[in-house]
Amino acid sequence: MAPPDHPKQQFSGEQSLTEPNIYVSLTYDPLDATAQMARVKSPQAGAVVLFAGTTRSHFSPSRPITHLSYTTYPSLALRTLLRLSTSILTSHSLTSIAITHRLGRVDIGEESILIAVSAPHRREAWRGGEEALERVKGEVEVWKEEWFEDGGVWRANRDGGVGVEVRRGSGSGSGGTKGSGGSGKGSGGSGARKGSDARKKELPEVGIRKRGTGEFSEGGLEF
């Protein structure tokens, strides 16, 4: 599945789905950590864990980020968020869980996701929060566009090898793409690259967007 061809704001305010002790939502507005924690607090909960994912200034030392942008198919992403939240609530014996993902432009230092969980004990809360983050990145239909001074590139919404970029509209994934650590080092070595290549079919089609043109270039960026 690929990101929408022409990402734009699709709604105003906050779209959400709820079940008992579960709240999931999407919004283009700045996120409120205090409100998110309040959604999961309970007299039965002895621990509340909040994760806030923020935009950092660099994904590569040589190429500073100006901002990130997120896009999605809202109804599909909300259903996926609700499904995985229901699973995590049960498997970790949580009291409550709340997940909110921001869409659109997210500047450096701003939050793109808030995950709050509560549980009777801290161990369940820590583990439930961590699983929630990993599953959001791995399962929810949200795509991230990293913006630099000279343009942007679509990536799957997670770090590391699964974020390997491929040409938009090309099934081969050729064009000089390398793993994040460069050739022969870290996660960019040949062994890691084979694993990344095997996962390309799971990625959305991505490419390099030229700033101000709305067009995609032919080749892949190297990091």
200 known ligand binder: no
Q: Mean pLDDT over all residues of the chain? A: 76
- Number of residues assigned to the chain: 223
178 known ligand binder: no
Which three-class secondary structure state does DSSP give residue 160? helix
Half-sphere exposure of 5 (CA within 13 A, CB side): 1
- pLDDT confidence tier of residue 58, bands split at 50, 70 and 90: confident
Over range 192-205, report the average pLDDT: 39
Residue 175 has pLDDT above 50, yes or no: no
Among residues 167, 188, 190, 170, the alpha carbon closest in space to that of 178 is found at: 188
Q: What CA–CA distance (Å, rounded) separates 158 from 72? A: 14
The token pair at 47 is: 């621990």
Q: Which of 67-71, 130-134, 164-168, 176-180 has the highest mean pLDDT?
A: 130-134
Q: What CA–CA distance (Å, rounded) separates 76 from 125? A: 27
- 68-103 pLDDT, tens per residue? 899 999 999 999 999 999 999 999 999 999 999 999
Q: Cβ distance 100 to 31 under 8 Å?
A: yes
CATH placement of domain 14-144? 3.90.1170.40
Alpha helices, DSSP H, located in 28-121: 33-40, 74-91
Q: What is the pLDDT of residue 145?
A: 87
The token pair at 167 is: 């040409």
Query: Taking the domains of the chain in order of start, what are their residue ranges?
Result: 14-144, 158-210
121 known ligand binder: yes
Give the contacts of 115 (CB within 8 A, at least 6 positions apart). 50, 51, 97, 98, 99, 129, 132, 133, 136
- 11-49 pLDDT, tens per residue? 999 999 999 999 999 999 999 999 999 999 999 999 999
Q: Which residue has the higher pLDDT, 174 or 96?
A: 96
- 108-163 pLDDT, tens per residue? 999 999 999 999 999 999 999 999 999 999 999 999 888 887 777 776 665 543 34
145 known ligand binder: yes
Residue 177 has pLDDT above 60, yes or no: no
